[in-house]
Structure 1
């Protein structure tokens, strides 16, 4: 217990010269094809990357995008000549922000088939699954980093396992944020992801992106947090069901409990129903709501919105701070005191 507390203090000691504007949780289901193993939703990922560039003001002062992915592209025989553009044009620094993405159709299959999330690294199947899971999720991380880099965002992939993050019974026990803070101070954008990590009691488990973003928010205190998902926000039941209602505003109390503010439902005491894919080892929407509430409890505004939409761009731009327009589709989680002040 003492060791865990010491490690938590190490995380809390992080200080930045520039405040974090936003932490973005990029849902795996929003940028991958859920029912197609290890398949990226290229159109969504491209749009999300473009919107992050627009909202975080990256790129050259002239407005021209200077891509940073100098890898050999499919169908091309040479590396892009865009390298020469950087010799003569200054590159604007982005507003400090962090991206954390889920796994979607990457990693979950390998983890669920081998039982990595349950622990037992000494078992051959679990050990093999641990390796396979990390191969899969880091593969997705690289592609997301490349997509952001093509939009001129100086993105750097950071795997929690490689950065020394670990858990104790699935709760974060050690999370060294020094690499993240140094990257931000250097004008880089850290891109973290849900990962297979070592666990002090279980040997290993899965650390979800939603838990990671909650931890980052608690220690780095961004202005706001945006969850980009494959649906418009939180519903009172799975959105695929008839008559599902989008919850526009949720109030979070000091103890982390939350209640629906808007709209008014017929049965306000009814629990929100959620569902998770059979291969999802991270808890699905229920984990997302719980971690979003934990962030809102800190006094940080949280927006859950559909990725690659104008509603997402407005949230990323910071347009929603202080007032939610009637025509915005999404879910806003606010600390209860914030709601009292605005009324």
Structure 2
């Protein structure tokens, strides 16, 4: 990509408000193979729709879900509903979703994240499926935003010059997009309230409300003050993209750009506040989540 193209990406016709990561652990049942967390997914979709759409004079927004289950339409669609419907003004968002239990188990078992391209099961997978560029090129994403679409991206198995193949994490894609498209803020929706000083399943785990990132990329906890600054993080054995460790690393890189990052539990009132952009300035005491900001 040349300098002219990079410059174009930074000057979207419609500024990018937010990049959202739908964590796989939040929208699937992470310990059950290929099982959706339907309640969470429905609530997250509803909240996203609410914060994206603004300026509608109509109390009703017609559904556009043509998806089928068991051969039947889940929603009744009347095309006439759209004839006199105003074009809704929506904020510019990009959504990146994780695979959760629909990808990590298989990737861990096959070893695709460690460069196992020579293994028959991995090679067959690449041959049998279309090899996609999961991040899409920036010009396509920027064009979609300017046309009023909401790009939906995801991580995937990709070829790699050093390892042969690996998993390109959605968290890495978000950092790449944030660097070039400069959103107002970034929100990671997870299955826990945020970043803790130790695994949140432990009884004395403390939620870190605010983390400051310095110019050199190192970070420290601002709120609450901790006697021991060491933060312990674990990664599930089947998580092939680094779990919370990758989120912290990528969030710190984004914060260095002057873009606030919020890590918050999906499908909660706290996630709505983060998605709405209501957390600029001081973090409210009653908000549960982690804000990661540039200290400079």
> How high is the TM-score relative to the length of structure 2?
0.92
Of 278, 290, 305, 2:249 maps to: 290
- Aligned to 2:95, the other structure's residue is in SS state strand
Q: Which residue of 1 aligns with 2:286?
A: 327
The alpha carbon displacement at 1:58 in A equals: 5.6
2:17 is the alignment partner of 1:21: yes
Q: Which residue of 2 aligns with 1:87?
A: 83
Of 164, 177, 201, 2:162 maps to: 201
- Counterpart Cα distance in 2 of 1:243 and 1:221: 37
- Aligned to 1:226, the other structure's residue is in SS state strand
2:193 is the alignment partner of 1:223: no
* Count of paired positions: 295
- Counterpart Cα distance in 1 of 2:199 and 2:2: 38
Q: Which residue of 2 aligns with 1:214?
A: 175
The alpha carbon displacement at 1:54 in A equals: 1.2
- Aligned to 2:186, the other structure's residue is in SS state strand
| Structure 1 pair 163–84 and aligned structure 2 pair: CA distance change class (3 A) | farther
The alpha carbon displacement at 1:131 in A equals: 6.5
2:274 is the alignment partner of 1:315: yes
Of 218, 225, 232, 1:264 maps to: 225
- Aligned to 1:247, the other structure's residue is in SS state coil
Structure 1 runs of 4+ with >4 Å offset: 6-13, 129-132
Q: Which residue of 1 aligns with 2:62?
A: 66
- Counterpart Cα distance in 2 of 1:10 and 1:205: 27
- Aligned to 2:162, the other structure's residue is in SS state coil
- Counterpart Cα distance in 2 of 1:309 and 1:293: 24
Of 202, 219, 227, 1:241 maps to: 202
Q: Which residue of 2 aligns with 1:123?
A: 119
The alpha carbon displacement at 1:80 in A equals: 3.1
- Aligned to 1:294, the other structure's residue is in SS state helix
Gaps of 5+ in 2: none
- Counterpart Cα distance in 2 of 1:260 and 1:208: 25
- Counterpart Cα distance in 2 of 1:10 and 1:17: 14
| Structure 1 pair 307–112 and aligned structure 2 pair: CA distance change class (3 A) | same
RMSD (Å) for aligned C-alpha atoms: 2.3
Q: Which residue of 1 aligns with 2:263?
A: 304
| Structure 1 pair 207–9 and aligned structure 2 pair: CA distance change class (3 A) | farther
| Structure 1 pair 131–229 and aligned structure 2 pair: CA distance change class (3 A) | farther
2:8 is the alignment partner of 1:38: no
The alpha carbon displacement at 1:310 in A equals: 0.3
| Structure 1 pair 130–113 and aligned structure 2 pair: CA distance change class (3 A) | farther
Considering fraction of residues, name the structure with more helix: 1
- Counterpart Cα distance in 2 of 1:67 and 1:25: 23
Of 51, 54, 59, 2:47 maps to: 51
Of 92, 107, 121, 1:111 maps to: 107
The alpha carbon displacement at 1:200 in A equals: 2.0
The alpha carbon displacement at 1:9 in A equals: 7.9
Gaps of 5+ in 1: 1-5, 136-160, 166-174, 338-343
Q: Which residue of 2 aligns with 1:192?
A: 153
> How high is the TM-score relative to the length of structure 1?
0.80
Deviations 1:177-211 (A, max 9, x none): 12111111111101111111121222211001111
